[in-house]
Amino acid sequence: MTGNRQDHLILRPLAMLGLLGGLSFAPTQATAQDWLADRFDNAIVNADSLSARYKNDVQAQLRRMRMRATKLPPPTQAEVEAMRDPDTWWTKKVPVALGGAGKSLKMSLPYAYDSAMLNSAQMRVFGNLPAIRETYEKEVEGRYALRLYADARAEDINDPTRSLAVTDGNSRLLSRDRSVEVGFRKRLITGAEVAIGQRFASIATNSNDFIPGEQSRLRTFVTVVQPLLRDSGVEYTRSLHEVARLDALMGKSEFRRQVENHLMEVARAYWALYLARATYYQRAQSTTGASKIVDQLSGRASLDADVLLLSRARSAQSQREAEQLRSRASVSNAEVRLRALLNDPRLDQSIGEVVPVGTPLTRYEPLGLQTIVQRAVAFRPEVQQAFLQQKAAVLREGQAQIESLPRFDAVLEGNIGGRGLGTGQFPEAWTDTRDNANRPGFVAGLRLEIPLQQDDSKARLSRRKLETRQAEDQGIATVSTIAAEAELALNEYEVAWREVGARALALRAARNDQRLELERWDQGIGGQLGENAVNGLERLLSSQDRVADAEERLALAQTTFTVAFLALQRVQGTFLSVRRIGIQRLDDAARGPTFVARRDEIAAPPPSRCPVGKAKAKDTACVTTVVEKPD
């Protein structure tokens, strides 16, 4: 009867455990194959094929896009002749200092680039990003570092005894346990955690279960906990390192993109300063033309010059002086913007004026849109970043697949132990351990944990799948945007070149008109009065205004064409390579590493052939051109 009762007490909890196990296993039985699929056929295993297929999809999307540049008629023969000798006299005046407090600093565009790369605070901000991303790799590596650990425990027991026979008649069970455990832990590439340690324990008790009542114990053990589903596998571990490496590469691509954009802003500010100074000298010359007329009329005011003529001429002079004053302020404002982008300490209060010495681009190269887009896909950091981001998202999705699996671990331990009679007799316990080394103990077991409800790992997997889809859509959107940007940049380049020709021809016509009006004025100034003289003066002043306006518009067209060519290089992803600017990593012992952009004079020039596809023999789009000459 007693045996049946004991069996019943044992079987009841086992039946309850079986019922709970059946309830938990019923909904998961159908997903057992899914577990194996997620473990052995996940996104990590298929990452390379998925990334290759995604790149093919991007190329297919690119081929489906209708890319066509605006077809403009070639410049006319008159425009070509006008562009050959436009008589841009202001190009010699721009490098001349305007005067004022402080010294003037003559600056070329390469000098401005180098100054920004060396001193710009914004560039230093950009350089921190890849340095921060680099720490992700070390962070992942740190998870698998060898660790030393130590555990100490002290326990005193003073309980009522279960039986007086256990304590030799004492009503209290007294025990004093002291233990210390030291060892090493390390994670392996398989996901297993290995621990090797030594446990020291001393026991003093009045229980006759311990004879003698004071003992010292040693145990040397090796424990291995190997995950079989969740967080398991060499591929899973390597994917953590790969994602960290991809994040570091994305940081470098982002830094390169920001450097290109910042240097492009420096170029725009540089040519804006050039244009402001050219406009100032053009308006100064226009003011001088009005002043000559005023002086001419003032000299003949007592003879035959009409007072109305003198009043009209002085009005035009005052108006042009006001415009010249405004243009001088524009020069100062353009210089402030350039200084802000450079942050060069050399441009302190002792430097009163920054004088650009560069000249606008005057050479045209025919460029093909298809080749420009192909170069952009091959070289643009945004495209490289999109591909890296897509692969990292695929790997994170695979990691989430493995992390959402049930926890099923194998636990193995091997140990040997010894005993010393009396507390503190650890040498004796060590000798006993060594004598029994041929009779080790072991532990083998399995550990299973299955969530019965929707847990955080499932939600994380759903989010990772959505992030993968987002990364793929974002990459296609990036390529589409770059293709549209390439088309716009090429159109702007073509239109800017045609505009230079048209403006040069308009300037030639305006100067010819001014010459004729000046000749007529000089011939009739001696005796004309009344309406004819007023009309002659108005025509002469208007011709001067037209010349000044044509010169300003030609200078604007030239700088716009130059900036359009630089923008076209940035669209192609060759802006830095053409200028031999590379990304370097600097180590600072005090503040840590950072990334900088520096000019490499011995670096190889960019490829002269198209990186993707084959260009036609007559297509010169893959030939790079350096606009600025190095200092």
Residue 333: give its domain's CATH number: 1.20.1600.10
Whole-number pLDDT of residue 615: 38
Query: Model pTM?
Result: 0.80
356 and 497 within one domain = yes
- Give residue 530's pLDDT: 64
Cα separation, 398 vs 237, in Å, equals: 11
Which region among 365-374, 457-466, 485-494 has the lowest average model confidence (pLDDT)?
365-374
| Sign of the C-alpha dihedral computed for residues 465, 470, 475 and 477 taken in this order | positive
pLDDT of residue 408: 92
Phi first, then psi: what are they for 286, rounded to 5°? -65, -40
Does any domain span residue 53? no
Q: Report d(CA 86, CA 505) in Å as an integer.
A: 8
In a domain, 319, yes or no: yes
Q: What pLDDT does residue 453 have?
A: 81
Please tell me the predicted confidence (pLDDT) of residue 424.
74
* Tally of domains in the chain: 3
- Answer for the pair 115, 232: CB distance below 8 angstroms, yes or no: no
What are the C-alpha distances in Å from 130 to residues 135, 350, 543, 596? 9, 36, 58, 10
Chain segment 174-221, per-residue pLDDT in tens:
889 999 999 999 999 999 999 999 999 888 888 888 788 888 888 899
563, part of any domain: yes
Predicted local confidence at residue 618, as pLDDT: 37
C-alpha–C-alpha distance, residues 289 and 541, integer Å: 9
Mean pLDDT calculated for residue range 100-125? 89
Average pLDDT over residues 78-96: 86
Q: What is the rounded CA–CA span in Å between residue 440 and residue 411?
A: 17
Residue 233's region, left for phi above 0, alpha for psi from -120 to 50, else beta, is left
C-alpha to C-alpha distances, 365 to 323, 357, 506, 627, nearest whole angstrom: 36, 24, 23, 12
For residue 482, count other CB atoms closer than 10 A to its CB. 23
In this structure, the answer to whether residues 484 and 387 fall within a common structural domain is: yes
Residue 107: pLDDT band (50, 70, 90) is very high
Residue 279's pLDDT is 95
Same domain, 87 and 177: no
Q: Rounded to whole angstroms, what are the CA distances from 213 to 177, 208, 422?
A: 12, 7, 8
Same domain, 151 and 132: no
Q: Is the pLDDT of residue 341 over 90?
A: yes
In a domain? residue 472? yes
Look at residue 518 in the predicted model and tell me its pLDDT.
87
What digits encode the pLDDT tens for the residues 15-74? 444 444 444 444 444 467 778 877 888 888 889 999 999 999 888 888 887 666 667 777
Does some domain include residue 454? Answer: no
Q: Which of 1-15, 99-113, 486-500 has the lowest mean pLDDT?
A: 1-15
Band of the pLDDT at 253, cuts 50, 70, 90? very high
Judged against a pLDDT cut of 90, whether residue 506 lies above it is answered with: yes
Expressed as residue numbers, the domain containing 12 is 2-46
Residues 84 and 165 in one domain: no
Contact indicator for 131, 612 with CB cutoff of 8 Å: no
Q: Give residue 609's pLDDT.
A: 36
* Mean pLDDT estimate for the chain: 84
Does residue 388 share a domain with residue 247? yes
Question: Which of the given ranges, 3-17, 203-217, 560-574, has the highest pLDDT on average?
Answer: 560-574
Instruction: Looking at mean pLDDT, say which of 167-171, 271-275, 514-518 comes out highest.
Output: 271-275
Q: SS3 for 446?
A: strand
Query: 244 and 352: one domain?
Result: yes
Coil, helix or strand for 531?
helix
Dump pLDDT digits (tens) for 528-543.
Answer: 556 777 788 888 899 9
Q: Is pLDDT at 308 greater than 90 in this prediction?
A: no
Q: In terms of domains, do 351 and 255 share one?
A: yes
Amino acid, res. 562? T
pLDDT, residue 3, reads: 47
631 belongs to a structural domain: no
Residues 94 and 131 in one domain: yes
Question: For residues 573 and 581, is the Cβ–Cβ distance under 8 A?
Answer: no
Same domain, 206 and 355: no
- What per-residue confidence (pLDDT) applies to 64? 80
Count of other CB atoms within 10 angstroms of residue 20 = 11
Task: Tell whether 625 is covered by a domain.
Answer: no
| Angle subtended at Cα 106 by Cα 101 and Cα 111, rounded to the nearest 5 degrees | 130
Answer yes or no: is pLDDT of 551 > 60: yes
Asked which of 141-150, 227-236, 435-444 is least confident by mean pLDDT, the reply is: 435-444
Estimate to the nearest angstrom the gap between the alpha carbon of 577 and the chain centroid.
17
CA pair distance 192, 273, nearest whole angstrom: 64
The reply to whether 593 falls in a domain is yes
Percent of the chain surpassing pLDDT 70: 87
Task: Please tell me which residue, 512 or 426, carries the higher pLDDT value.
Answer: 512
Same domain, 162 and 18: no
Q: Which of 99-113, 218-232, 425-439, 448-462 has the lowest mean pLDDT?
A: 425-439
CA distances to 257, 389, 561 from 129, rounded to whole Å, are 12, 16, 33
Same domain for 438 and 384, yes or no, is: no
